[in-house]
Every structure is written in structure tokens, then in C-alpha cells.
Amino acid sequence: MERNDIIDFKALEKELQAALTADEKYKRENAAKLRAVEQRVASYEEFRGIVLASHLKPLEQKDKMGGKRTVSWNCCTTQGRTFQDVATEISQEKVHCQPETSAEFYRDWRRHLRSGPERYQALLQLGGPKLGHLFQTDVGFGLLGELLVALADHVRPVHRAAVLGILRSLASTGRFTLNLSLLSQAERERCRALFQKLQAMGAPRPMKEGLSQEEQGLEEQSGGPQEEERLLQELLGLYQLN
């Protein structure tokens, strides 16, 4: 084999381990969320605390105070290497967001899509139908709020129809009402601001010269002014903003 054809198995092993860690984290937090709901916690802060502490394990009888500590009790708060550090080492290149599962989306959302514009473009690229398929069972803990914030901060009039489609697909996901009720106050305000912007944008204007190919395609997705307004009113009810 030529030198350029040699497979870097060490890098592949690191990437696989990072993906498995992300998947395990998603499943662990989702299980903690379900337990918190069953326990009927009194506040959002208590709910959030349970999920964020889902990686901790209870002390056993052999664990003693005052002994020599060789392992940190909370690896997620250490100053050393974290999962994000390992993920960054694996790939410094910007990748297109093309997940096939919700776990892959969560991994890409955290690892590669760091800025608001990148996240907004990724949501437009995937579109409502794809997002609805990825999250048909449930949107991961805290993710719904982040999706709404990305849309609220970067929505443009030319993308109005596409954003409405994304919002409709998210509203059809499993346990949507529960996830909506768990939004923080700041996320609720951004959600309200998003719908205010969509209302102010009104129906899409006729196609004009000078628009990019992407913008022309997004305008063509519109089902007409009346259909968009009907959908907007429906979404206001689903997102409890009436």
C-alpha cells in the first residue's frame, strides 16, 4: 500500500469512542428526564439539576471520607480534558450537518455547530420534514429551547416559509408539550420574539431579481399567503402563544 492509503486506526478509534460517548450521554440524560417527570419535581431548576447530575453515581460503603483521592468524583467539572476536547482533536474541519439519528444530530450540534449562524443554516439545510423524522420520539433535554433561539436570532423574511415548516415539524415530535413547558424564561421570550418577527414579516413578497438560488428555492416552498397565515395561527396555539 502507498503511504497515503494507510488507515489511521488510532484516529478512527478516537472518533468511534467520541460518538459512543455522545450517544451514551444522550440516553443517560433522557432516562434522567423521564425519572424526574415521574417524581413530579417541584420546579424547573430541580428538574434541570437531576438531568445535569445524571452522570454521577451514588457512593458505596467502601467509599470513605478523608482517604487518598485518586479519581475525581465529578469528571465533568475537572480542569483537564473533557469530551469536547477529545471531539475537537478528532476533527477541526467544518462538516455539513447530515445526521441520520437524533444522537448524531446532538453530537454535530455540540461539536461542529458552535455559532448561531451555523446552527440556523444547519436547520434550514435539514428542513422541517427531516427534523421531524429525527425527533419523532422526542427532542433531547434542553435542545428545543436552543433550536428556537437559533431561529429567533437569525430568521429572515425570505426564509419565513421554511421556518414555519420547521416549527410545525418540531410541534409534531414526541413529548412536545412537555419539552415546551420546560423552556427557561429566556427561551420562552425568544420563542415569543420569533413569532412576533414571523407575524411582522407577513406573507412572502413576489420573487425579485438578484436573489440567490437558495433564496429563490425557499420562496418557491411557500404554499401561498393564505396557507402561511393559517399555519402561523395554528402554530401560535401549539406553542401556547395565543
pLDDT at 170: 96
pLDDT at 225: 77
φ, ψ of residue 19 in degrees (nearest 5)? -65, -40
Average pLDDT in the 194-215 region? Answer: 69
User: Helix, strand, coil % (nearest 5) of the chain?
Assistant: 65, 0, 35
Average pLDDT in the 135-142 region? Answer: 85
pLDDT at 18: 81
pLDDT at 96: 63
**% of the chain with per-residue pLDDT over 90:** 37
pLDDT at 43: 66
The pTM of the full predicted model, rounded to 2 decimals, is 0.56
Length of the chain: 242
Which DSSP category does 93 fall into? Answer: S
77 pLDDT more than 50: no
pLDDT at 196: 95
Higher per-residue pLDDT: 76 or 91: 76
- For residue 19, the one-letter residue type is A
Spatial CA neighbour of 95 closest among 85, 105, 86: 105
75 pLDDT more than 50: no
pLDDT at 52: 72
Spatial CA neighbour of 143 closest among 108, 118, 95: 108
7 pLDDT more than 80: no
168 pLDDT more than 60: yes
What are the helix and strand counts (H, E) for the chain? 11, 0
81 pLDDT more than 70: no
The three cell numbers of residue 30 are 433522557
The three cell numbers of residue 188 are 420562552
pLDDT at 64: 52
Domain borders along the chain are 96-238
pLDDT at 8: 74
pLDDT at 72: 45
Confidence of residue 234 (pLDDT cuts 50, 70, 90): very high
Task: For 90-124, write each residue's pLDDT tens digit.
Answer: 333 344 668 899 888 988 898 888 889 999 999 99
pLDDT at 119: 93
**Beta carbons within 10 angstroms of residue 59's beta carbon:** 10
